[in-house]
Chains A and B, each alone.
Chain A
Amino acid sequence: MIKRAPLILGNKSLKDITDDICEMVETPPNGKFLALLGVSKLLFLFYIFIMGAIVWYGMGLMGVNSPVGWGTDIVTFVFWIGIGHAGTLISAVLFLFRQKWRTSIARTAEAMTVFAVMTAGLFPLLHTGRPWISYWLFPYPNQRGPLWVNFRSPLLWDVFAVSTYATVSIVFWYIGLVPDLATVRDRAKNKIRKAVYGALSLGWRGTARHWNHYEMVYMLLAGLATPLVLSVHSIVSFDFAVANLPGWHTTIFPPYFVAGAIFSGFGMVVTLMVIIREAVPKFKDYITMDHMENMNKIILTTGMLVGYAYGSEFFIAWYSGSKYEVFAFTNRAFGPYWWAYWTMVTCNVVIPQVFWFKAVRRSIPAMFVVSIFVNIGMWFERFVITVTSLHRDFLPSSWGMFHFTFYDLGAIFGSFGMFFTFFLIYTRVLPAISIAEVKPVLHVGYEEDDHE
């Protein structure tokens, strides 16, 4: 009989698991962590300065202009939202498919979702140019009629999709955290700690009747988050697909965007997991090489899915016989933005092919490099879709180029400062692996004849 590989290495007892995972929350950080946090916070401060300048002086600081009216803000918004999707895929979709290996990485992947959506959410607000009246995006009774929002606009669908996604992701993450927060509370030695984690844990005590409702709600949330995550990136793609612009107006966009989102998200999960494994050697028993390999397989699969989408777009442009479509795609690959297009293809389709080799799938340095390339490639994918479609439309006299400014680059790189600051603080204040979810899978791979 083929044996299942253990999900958790090192023959741990239940107490070992609690001790290992709580250690991060209960010990003061070392110098390496503080240095990393310092760099992230510096970048975050720089980002705040960049955003402050853009809000104060206006959108003129950024590169958007006629004809490219959607630039860095929209590109980076889609990039971060996409990254969030892998977290929901791991925590909800793999849960429904009963993939037990998800338990060790679900918490951190879900945290990544929450922080990525928070990072993403600022960009459209910045892009409006007047973020102080961004509450106008929501339909609320007002004294102007009331003048309501336009529900026929995909941009408004996005407001609803992203805010619902953010809410449900945070709730799902928090509900998963409740039993673990109770564990931290019960281990707390000092009063403040006990009070804070006690309040956060909602007074959880884990009776059988509590677990009964809890497990049901967790499953329901997973079942609700799954269609939600698919809808969110579909709706993000409608922002483009509903427009009549060649290069945007394609029916392939929703599945193409969802596949791309999962692809980029897994890229980011691998990046983060490599960092966590290096920072906390104990976690190597929980986030094993098998976990990393599984994720690399998903990167390979979804990378080929987006590769297929790139090919399909060109085929349909030719097959449709529309000369505007043909022009948009020829211009995309061989026009002035050829470098962005081929960066995208290289990073997203060519480089992940190295994962066909098992040795590469199981090599930490190799997967780290590939995951960085995936992140870069997926940023360029959104850049290619947004900018190359806009910069040359139907009328050659209105053609133009998009010019990056210092503030564009500052917003792109600065947003990583925000994301990593939140993420690093999270690893120190909340259990980074789900304690209550890891314990039931402890026996997997050890007791082979005990199948349910």
Chain B
Amino acid sequence: MSNSKKIIAGIWDSEAGLIEAAKKAKAQGFDKLEAISPYPLHGIDEILEIPRSFIPYITFVMGLLGCAVGTWFTWYVAAYDWPLNIGGKPMWSLAAFIPVIFELTILFAALSSVGAMIVLNGLPKNNPPIIHPDLTSHLFALFVPEDDKNFNAEKIESLFKELGAQEVKHSEF
């Protein structure tokens, strides 16, 4: 991959080991320190100073948009573009349109949240470099990319070893 960065990664075999190492490594002042784990780790966001995901705002706005589109569309179809008298009911029968408006609200909110997650996480990626195949199974990793302000290959290597990494690798991400 052309856009992948060189990194130095340390690999741990337990969640507790990784959390402990992440705390100490972060204290060294890396600004792009990143962790990889087979499942979401409790407390890692605070340690790595990852802000709370802002996707809920996207969900909310897109939900409102779905609601607005549904309201407009049912009005346009039933009351404006081709009004038909059906059972003597008002052309603009809002109560009867609520189910459709509701479903569109959910649909817009759900699909845009997923879309936002995919875009924000830089997915989909074809054949991305894998640091270690067991990182999606039972190993945990910390890595520092080369564009980190404190990047120093030798220092990071010795730091990771000191913190108990079972393996230190030069790899790409």
Contact = CB atoms under 8 A, between A and B. Distances in A.
A211 B55 contact: no
Contacts of A97: none
Contacts of A175: 114, 117
Contact of B40 (A171, A211, A235): A211
A187 B132 CA distance: 11
Contact of B124 (A161, A202, A208): A202
B136 A208 contact: no
Contacts of A206: 36-39, 135-136
Given A206-B38, A220-B55, A160 B133 contact: no
A187 B139 CA distance: 13
Contacts, number: 196
A148 B55 contact: no
Given A148-B77, A436-B38, A202 B125 contact: yes
B78 interface: yes
Contacts of B128: 203, 205
A183 B104 CA distance: 34
A213 B53 contact: yes
B154 interface: no
B36 A224 contact: no
Nearest to B51: A212
Given A149-B77, A179-B39, A213 B55 contact: yes
B89 interface: yes
Interface in A393-452: 435-437, 439-440, 452
Contacts of B3: none
Given A171-B110, A186-B136, A203 B127 contact: yes
A185 B44 CA distance: 25
A217 B55 contact: yes
A187 to B, nearest CB: 7
A207 B37 CA distance: 6
A49 interface: no
Contacts of A154: 99
Interface string A207-236: 111111111110011001101100100010
A199 interface: yes
B75 to A, nearest CB: 9
B123 A171 contact: no
Contacts of B74: 151
- The A contact surface, by secondary structure, is helix
B39 A214 contact: no
Contact of B34 (A207, A217, A224): A207
Nearest to A235: B99
A221 B93 CA distance: 30
Contacts of A207: 34-36
Chain B CB within 10 A, most for which of A139, A149, A156, A220: A220
B144 to A, nearest CB: 12
Contacts of B118: 202
Interface in A157-195: 157, 160-161, 164, 167-168, 171-172, 175, 179, 182-183, 185-187, 195
Nearest to A150: B86
B106 A168 contact: yes
B45 interface: yes
A193 to B, nearest CB: 13
Interface string B75-86: 001100110101
Contacts of A220: 55-56, 59, 109-110, 113
Interface in A233-258: 235, 238
A439 B109 contact: no
Given A203-B126, A439-B38, A221 B114 contact: yes
Chain B CB within 10 A, most for which of A14, A161, A167, A195: A14
B161 to A, nearest CB: 21
B147 interface: no
B101 to A, nearest CB: 9
A46 interface: no
B137 interface: yes
Contacts of B125: 202-203
Nearest to B123: A202
A221 B111 CA distance: 9
A3 interface: no
Interface in B38-90: 38-42, 44-45, 48, 50, 52-53, 55-56, 59, 73-74, 77-78, 81-82, 84, 86-87, 89
Q: Which 3 A-B pairs have the closest CB atoms?
A: A203-B125, A14-B138, A202-B124
20 contacts: A14-B138, A139-B73, A151-B96, A154-B99, A160-B103, A161-B103, A171-B110, A183-B38, A186-B133, A195-B127, A203-B124, A206-B39, A207-B36, A209-B50, A211-B41, A212-B50, A217-B53, A217-B113, A221-B113, A436-B39
Interface of B: 34-42, 44-45, 48, 50, 52-53, 55-56, 59, 73-74, 77-78, 81-82, 84, 86-87, 89, 93, 96-97, 99-100, 102-104, 106-107, 109-111, 113-114, 116-118, 120-121, 123-128, 130, 133-138, 173
Interface of A: 13-15, 18, 139, 145-152, 154, 156-157, 160-161, 164, 167-168, 171-172, 175, 179, 182-183, 185-187, 195, 198-199, 202-217, 220-221, 224-225, 227-228, 231, 235, 238, 435-437, 439-440, 452
Given A147-B82, A183-B38, A216-B55, 19 more contacts: A151-B93, A151-B96, A152-B86, A152-B89, A152-B96, A157-B99, A175-B117, A198-B127, A208-B44, A208-B48, A209-B34, A213-B53, A216-B53, A217-B116, A220-B56, A220-B59, A228-B110, A436-B40, A437-B39
